[in-house]
């Protein structure tokens, strides 16, 4: 046809789930605020938000997988999916910047909150801190190894080695579960609780949210493993796996910084548990 322009993209039918997801996220945060202020119907609002988010995760992400398998993820679509993942990881970086900012504020300027910490950091209320070269160091080695195995899986996929892809993903998932298990054991035997002072609160918020990200990343990789067994992903089209690998490397880097700043530097000079 004269005047026809060929593009390497096409228009998809609009999906309702991004809208439902945004409404559910607003409902969830509103429910959290109501719950923290012990207001009426807080549990109902919070529960509705959680249900909406879980439904969005399953439905929206499954639709994206179906689009990929139909061939709808053209080079232009894949490029913009990469942009979206980069912006998402950037937002996660800023999320952790907030926790590290508070940690440095408490640690470098303890005299400004002397009535709480006694003018020192860790505070006087902290009788002992975690030994950074015990379980935390072991978890550091585990995450570094998991970064290697996920890279092996990615390299295998690019070169058409499906067995290497599966083995690399299996090892990464196992290491992720091992990391989470060790951190749970560490929390159960920690010499200090969550609240009461700035050190413990900042410690658990930073390490706990990182642990949550490890859990999310592990689920992300399990989904990729299931898709690998179903024959999904090709050397030229595998954004779902690539996004999971990016996210996992982000988790690794955050932990390295957290290990140095929180475990080693943050408890320097304090009694070891």
CA 22 to mean position of chain CA atoms: 19
Confidence of residue 1 (pLDDT cuts 50, 70, 90): very low
Here the tokens at position 84 are 């979206």
**What is the pLDDT averaged over residues 84-96?**
94
What count of other Cβ atoms lies within 10 Å of the Cβ of residue 175? 24
Structure tokens at 200: 């413990």
Q: How far is CA 102 from the centre of its chain?
A: 20
Q: For 154-163, what is each residue's pLDDT tens digit?
A: 999 999 999 9
**Per-residue buried b or exposed e for 179-204, using 16+ beta carbons within 10 Å of the residue's own CB:** bbeebeebeeebebeeeebbbbebbb
User: What domains are there in the chain, each with its CATH number?
Assistant: 15-72 (1.10.287.70), 74-263 (1.20.120.80)
Mind listing the pLDDT tens digit for each residue in 37-82? 888 889 999 999 999 999 998 998 898 888 888 888 888 888 888 9
Residue pair 257/210 in contact (Cβ under 8 Å)? The answer is: no
Sequence-distant (6+) residues with CB within 8 A of 29 are 49
Angstrom distance (rounded) from CA 70 to CA 183: 40
Is the pLDDT assigned to residue 2 strictly greater than 50? Answer: no
Q: What is the rounded distance in angstroms from the CA atom of residue 18 to the CA atom of residue 25?
A: 10
**What is d(CA 168, CA 124) in angstroms, rounded to the nearest whole number?**
46
User: For residues 14 and 4, what is the distance between their CA atoms, to the nearest angstrom?
Assistant: 24
Q: How far apart are CA 134 and CA 131, in angstroms?
A: 6
Torsion sign (Cα): 272, 253, 195, 114: positive
pLDDT at 126: 78
3-state secondary structure of 129: strand
Per-residue pLDDT tens over the stretch 109-145? 776 555 555 567 777 777 778 888 999 999 999 999 9
**26-38 confidence digits (pLDDT tens):** 999 999 999 988 8
């Amino acid at each position: 046809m004269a005047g026809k322009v060929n593009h390497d993209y096409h228009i998809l039918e609009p999906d309702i789930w991004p809208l439902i997801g945004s409404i559910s996220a607003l409902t969830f945060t509103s429910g959290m605020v109501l719950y923290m202020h012990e207001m009426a119907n807080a549990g109902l609002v919070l529960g509705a938000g959680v249900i909406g988010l879980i439904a969005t995760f399953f439905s929206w992400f499954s639709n994206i997988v179906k689009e990929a398998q139909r061939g709808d993820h053209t080079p232009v679509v894949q490029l913009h999916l990469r942009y979206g993942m980069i912006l998402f990881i950037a937002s996660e970086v800023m999320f952790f910047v907030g926790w590290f900012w508070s940690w440095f504020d408490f640690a470098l300027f303890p005299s400004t909150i002397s009535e709480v910490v006694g003018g020192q950091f860790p505070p006087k209320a902290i009788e002992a801190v975690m030994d950074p070269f015990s379980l935390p160091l072991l978890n550091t080695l585990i995450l570094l190894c998991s970064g290697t195995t996920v890279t092996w899986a990615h390299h295998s996929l690019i070169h058409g080695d499906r067995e290497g892809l599966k083995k690399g993903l299996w090892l990464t998932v196992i290491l992720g579960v091992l990391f989470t298990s060790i951190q749970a054991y560490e929390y159960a035997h920690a010499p200090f609780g969550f609240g009461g002072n700035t050190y413990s609160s900042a410690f658990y918020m930073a390490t706990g949210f990182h642990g949550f990200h490890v859990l999310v990343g592990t689920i992300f990789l399990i989904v990729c493993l299931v898709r690998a067994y179903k024959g999904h992903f090709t050397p030229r089209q595998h954004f779902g796996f690539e996004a999971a690998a990016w996210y996992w490397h982000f988790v690794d880097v955050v932990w390295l910084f957290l290990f140095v700043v929180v475990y080693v530097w943050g408890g320097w000079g304090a009694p070891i548990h």
